[in-house]
Structure 1
């Protein structure tokens, strides 16, 4: 299923490009960057909506999460952004007009790739699975 995102505002323009994409972790990244004194690019890179964390980035994030504890991690996780499409026609199907759908987009760190410690993975999963639906795009 393909749902178009051509008309979503991204920064000061409409629509995504290879260099200008939605980033559901922008506010989390800004907070981590300030707290760790490192640019977000030292923690992860965004590619096609995926946050690809470096091993050292996951280690820094993990140490910080241990330092701030569960309530601090919950506050940090409250900064996760999501995007919601409602009433959007699917344009990739054999029938026209296509079905109308709703879809939710969010970003997450693929922690298995970085082999982060189990408590950090648990906290990051909690952010994605338990955040209330608050569209912020």
Structure 2
């Protein structure tokens, strides 16, 4: 009875539950605390006490980590202004086309349907820029 506890349920009746029956959401989902996982992964292990299978697994993990780190070092990224620029271009092109459809004269008067071409070119420049996005 040392690991059992007396609880009151919603009806006022007393229920006996052991500590093993009381579980949290993390226990029921099979989740493990990430700090514990990192501690195990970062711990230095005595290779002589490991099985050959564990030694191969550790060697593969070290190789994978090395490859990922090399890949990350070689990755190029765009400047900070790149994404806002192509988003703005696509929005401006959309506004240009919608303005022409609603007014049939503006944004540039007296060029007619060429306003559609200008709007779609601005939109396409924005879409082409998305292909260069890293």
Structure with more of its chain in strand, by fraction? 1
Structure with more of its chain in helix, by fraction? 2
Structure of greater relative contact order (alpha carbons < 8 Å, 6+ residues apart) = 1
- TM-score, scaled to structure 2: 0.23
TM-score normalised by the chain length of structure 1: 0.23
* Structure label with greater radius of gyration: 2
